[in-house]
């Protein structure tokens, strides 16, 4: 069982960034009237997102050219016109991501090459989101390899979110592997949320409950364990709810999670 959206998490208890908004957009196609959509002859890669059926794939250079044009100089506008322009830009960028993902496995090498060459965070974010929409195994491999080699914290965080959202074969395996080794608490929180309901991650999530000193980390690990929905998951929650070694707030959260996950 996978969660399709992340919660808005307010970091407390000493995390260095104070408050972190973990957001994820629904990767469903936008209006067909927008760029990159609606070609009845398009035949995306067989392992691409089924929702991309009928979407005309776009080449990486063309996508990046359109992205650059969207963020070029704009004429003066009223507040209402500016809001409308920003909304239209967001929708168009989303559709460009979808069209780039529609290339399936064949688009991955080009996306990675551009990612490694660009010096702008905006372009890297765009390319990462495109990879997260691509359901080919090659896309999952690319996300995992970029995550392993990336040193920029903002990009590592975006890559962790992309792995958490990706439905490509192998993406959840990569997420679990990174959950074993990641030490940055902000990134680890994203990985924990991506492991919601993942029975194969439950042992690591359980370890995190007792090894972490960050309450939000502990609570999100408990929530992800609750999503597994098995008797073993219930047992972990009951243990946490009664363990005096955990803070009162964490114990209370575990008790509430039993009710949320098991209807008690």
Sequential DSSP letters for 48-64 = S-GGGTTPPP--HHHHH
What is the distance, to the nearest Å, from the Cα of residue 84 to the centroid of all Cα atoms in its chain?
Answer: 26
Q: Where are the alpha helices (DSSP H) in 7-120?
A: 60-70, 79-101, 105-117
Instruction: Specify which residues 20 forms β-bridges with.
Output: 9
pLDDT at 168: 96
pLDDT at 55: 81
pLDDT at 205: 98
pLDDT at 224: 98
Q: CB count, 10 Å around CB of 136? A: 25
List the chain pLDDT tens, one digit each, 264 residues. 443 333 333 333 333 333 333 333 333 333 323 333 333 333 334 344 555 666 899 999 999 999 999 999 989 999 999 999 999 999 999 999 999 999 999 999 999 999 999 999 999 999 999 999 999 999 999 999 999 999 999 999 999 999 999 999 999 999 999 999 999 999 999 999 999 999 999 999 999 999 999 999 999 999 999 999 999 999 999 999 999 999 999 999 999 999 999 986
pLDDT at 52: 60
Q: What is the DSSP letter of 17?
A: T
Q: What angle (nearest 5°) sits at the alpha carbon of residue 191, between those of residues 185 and 195?
A: 140
pTM: 0.79
């Amino acid at each position: 069982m996978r969660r399709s959206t992340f919660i808005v998490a307010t970091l407390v208890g000493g995390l260095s960034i104070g408050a972190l908004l973990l957001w994820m957009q629904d990767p469903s196609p936008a209006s067909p009237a927008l760029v990159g959509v609606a070609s009845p002859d398009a035949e995306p890669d067989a392992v691409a997102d089924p929702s991309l059926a009928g979407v005309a794939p776009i080449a990486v250079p063309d996508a990046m050219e359109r992205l650059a044009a969207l963020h070029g100089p704009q004429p003066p506008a009223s507040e209402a016109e500016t809001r409308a322009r920003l909304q239209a830009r967001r929708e168009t960028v989303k559709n460009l991501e979808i069209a780039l993902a529609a290339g399936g496995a064949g688009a991955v090498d080009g996306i990675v090459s551009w990612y490694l060459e660009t010096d702008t965070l905006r372009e890297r974010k765009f390319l990462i989101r495109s990879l997260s929409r691509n359901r080919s195994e090659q896309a999952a491999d690319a996300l995992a390899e970029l995550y392993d080699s990336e040193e920029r914290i903002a990009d590592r965080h975006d890559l962790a979110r992309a792995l958490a959202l990706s439905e490509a074969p192998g993406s959840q395996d990569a997420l679990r592997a990174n959950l074993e080794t990641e030490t940055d608490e902000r990134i680890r929180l994203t990985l924990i949320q991506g492991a919601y309901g993942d029975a194969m991650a439950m042992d690591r999530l359980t370890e995190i409950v007792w090894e972490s000193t960050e309450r939000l980390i502990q609570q999100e690990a408990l929530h992800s364990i609750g999503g597994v929905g098995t008797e073993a998951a219930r047992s972990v929650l009951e243990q946490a709810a009664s363990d005096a070694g955990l803070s009162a707030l964490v114990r209370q959260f575990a008790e509430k999670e039993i009710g949320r996950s098991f209807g008690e």
